[in-house]
Structure 1
Amino acid sequence: MWRGEAIDRRGFLKAAGISFTASLSPRSLMALERADAVYAAGFRESDGSFGIATISERGEIIDRASLPARAHGLAHSSATGRTVAFARRPGTFAMVFDLSRQTEPVVITSPEGRHFYGHGHFSSNGALLYASENDFDGNRGMIGVYDARDKFRRIGEFDAHGIGTHDMTVSDDGTLLIIANGGIETHPDFGRTKLNLDHMEPSLVLLDAGTGALVQRHGLPPALRQLSTRHLDIGADGRIWFACQWEGPRNALPPLAGWFSEGGDLSFVSLPEETTIRLGNYVGAIAVNRREGIVGMTSPVGAAVTLDARTGAVLKEELVRDAAGVAPAASGIAVSSYDGQFNETRSKVAWDQHIVRLA
């Protein structure tokens, strides 16, 4: 996810370079020139093909590139300008794009016996890419380590200390890997079937980013063992926000989000009952706007919710049909949807579940 202060149009143009802007159509260049912020997201075309797009805060498509299959999450390095689109589980590719177009896209293939879980994150200097992976025969989550300075060669791996490893991020100082283990067993022989809903093992884990040593691990209490910990972002105060997907009885009203800090216990957000119902027991994406001290959450059931990052109190609720991605905006929260809506613009594509702000 995006970190730090807003990037203005001039800063983005400088990062992108002349070759990028020269390739744009007049319409796309106009969209970029009036953008307060710029994002990337995966999408599906009406013909069933897939791609990744650069998008203005208004939701106008600036540029696009093809993908071999459906993407899920994205990672962006402000240090190098590279953006990675990870295949949707149980996909085996990740594609790296250079915003300046000075280098060709790089395709990363997961090693034998592994597939990507759809998420990853760069080190603070952009030298390393960490990716959540499934050792499916060993039924354990792993973090693959790739050298971005050497064509993204895989140079190592860390045990994620859980199963169903999904989203992950890196602490601001670069010393910790922060991991959401969803606790759900899957195997590519069974597609996307969830194999252990009666004995799930969700957890939230901190690893030493240099050695992979376990620093902290939070399992969920027995009553919440069917609460899959899925997505993460970090606040300005270092608070780690997590969002969940409930796999238990439909009539239950479990907590769907919470936070913790290094060395501290888990705290769950107490959402109003009507908000939990509106979210359909499923938060599909979460993002912190550090400047404004707010947290955005979306649910494909059809809702976008904004929380106070200090207290967890609900500040705003919106009905958003097929809500998908969420990211910090210049003001408030940017939201995309599976039916082509991105903030105020509807496009003839289906946006995928996550968006990332380019900074």
Structure 2
Amino acid sequence: MANDKRLLIDRRAFIKAAGLPFLASLAPRSLHALERTDAVFASAFRDRNGAYGVATVSEAGEIIDRLVLPARAHGMATSRATGVTVAFARRPGTFFMAFDPARRREPIVMHTPPNRHFYGHGQFSPDGSLLYASENDFDKNRGVIGLYDARDGFRRIGEHDACGIGTHDMTVSEDGRMLIIANGGIQTHPDFGRTKLNIDAMEPSLVLLDAATGRLIQKHGLGGPLAQLSTRHVDLGRDGRIWFACQYEGPRNDLPALVGHFCKGDDLHFIDLPPETTARLANYVGAIAVNRRDGIVGLTSPNGNASVTLDEKTGRILSEAALREAAGVAPAAHGIVASSYDGHFGSRASDVAWDQHIVRLAG
């Protein structure tokens, strides 16, 4: 629990780190929003003119600042050591943009090698020196984790085999020694856009790698009746527990369990939600986030137009809410904040369409 206080940085730390030049650059309305919020977030969006960007957002959903993106983004990563944040292109995009939410340095746009594309997710090492990114080696139909030197302009310095296909979300253990990877198991190729090429022969898995060497530590493959349960998103819970969320590609009426957790050296444990809740999620959890301080797990389902929170310790449902086109979810100062494709963020609606994921910013 020692790092939970770092996870839940409040707006006072963000303001202090941002400094006077950034604060002076804000419009009075944005400055007022920043002064009132308990937490600060970032999320990608599409504006009413069809342009893409990334915004710094208050807990109430007030936009504090915006930056232009070259194309649509998906997931986000932030370094709690350096404050640098990254927006990753939506699959099969080939760019990420690294930026400082306080604008203390110019954004950097990087691209994958010619035979790779991003899957929309990544994470920093705890000291902020490395960025790990989920990528597709589409010529060989294998997922990889690209390694980028965050202290040298995000130069690509190598990669680890992700030991699976359809590598989607990933994170890094608290001590930085282990990569946690959700291999969705779905084959894609940029020549076919976002078409899923192997629905009848999927290979979903959850993988733990040694961060330094890429050595495989542990792999949980999903086969048999779970072979079409695409393992897509992960987040760290308490005491080394890893939470995961899935999207089912099988028959609509099957309604398998979609959420679970595991630890290093442990088996997968699926959460047995009530049938009506599983039906509400519509076989699709689009995002998952853990508030470790409060012991809450948040889920969103754009297909089910729903937001659900669970007790982290027991898996018991704490709340369910209708949220049209539910998108991102992140730990708030207390509880969970969620966004939607139709412009809702927390308690506020705005004139942008939020994309799938939110990241809470460090000071």
TM-score bracket, normalised by the shorter chain, equals over 0.9
Residue in 1 that maps onto 2:295: 293
Taking structure 2 as the reference length, what is the TM-score of the superposition?
0.97
- The amino acid of 1:208's aligned partner reads D
Cα separation, 2, equivalents of 1:84 and 1:312:
31
Matches within 5 A, 1:305-316: 305-316=308-319
Letter in 2 for 1:32: L
Map of 1:32-47 to 2, 5 A cutoff? 32-47=34-49
Residues 23-71 of structure 1: CA distance to partner in whole angstroms, max 9, x if unpaired?
1000000000000000000000111100000000000000000001100
1:11 partner amino acid = A
Distance 2:65 2:289 in 1: 24
Offset of residue 99 of structure 1: 2.5
8 Å CA contact 2:341, 2:353 repeated in 1: yes
**CA-to-partner distance for each residue in 1:194-241, whole Å, 9 max, x for gaps?**
000001000000000111100000001311000000001011211000
Counterpart contact for 1:16–1:81, Cα < 8 Å: no
- Picking from 11, 18, 22, the partner of 2:13 is 11
In structure 2, C-alpha distance between the alignment counterparts of 1:343 and 1:98, rounded to whole Å: 23
Please state how far the C-alpha of 1:3 moved relative to its aligned partner.
7.8
For residues 90-101 of structure 1, what are the structure 2 equivalents within 5 Å?
90-101=92-103
Corresponding position of 2:143: 141
- 1:202 aligns with 204
Pick the aligned partner of 1:22 from 21, 24, 32. Answer: 24
Q: d(CA) in 2 for partners of 1:330 and 1:24?
A: 23
Q: Which residue of 2 aligns with 1:251?
A: 253
**Where do 1:233-244 residues align within 5 Å?**
233-244=235-246
Q: Percent identity?
A: 70
Alignment partner of 1:325 out of 324, 328, 331? 328
1:116–1:172 Cα change, 3 Å: same
Counterpart amino acid of 2:156?
R
- Shifted more, 10-19 versus 281-290: the winner is 10-19
Correspondences of 1:60-79 after superposition (within 5 Å)? 60-79=62-81
> Do the aligned partners of 2:119 and 2:134 also contact (CA within 8 Å) in 1?
yes
The aligned counterpart of 1:118 is: 120
Match of 1:183 in 2: 185
Give the letter aligned to residue 343 of structure 1.
G
Q: Normalization by structure 1: what TM-score? A: 0.98
- Counterparts of 1:306 and 1:350, CA distance in 2: 23
1:341 is aligned to 2:349: no
Aligned residue-pair number:
358
- Measure how far apart 1:14 and its partner are: 1.4
What secondary structure does 1:282 align onto? Answer: coil
Whole-Å Cα distance in 2 between the matches of residues 57 and 272 of structure 1?
30
- Mapped contact 2:203–2:223 kept (Cα < 8 A): no
Structure 2: how far apart are the matches of 1:165 and 1:198? Answer: 18
Extract unaligned runs of 5+ from structure 1.
Answer: none
Evaluate the alpha carbon distance shift between residue 3 and residue 220 of structure 1 in structure 2; reply closer, same or farther with a 3 A threshold.
farther
What residue in structure 1 maps to residue 356 of structure 2? 353
CA deviation vs aligned residue, 1:97-122 (integer Å, no higher than 9, x gap): 01232221000100110000000000
1: CA distance, partners of 2:198 / 2:17: 45
Q: Which blocks of at least 5 consecutive residues in structure 2 are unaligned?
A: none
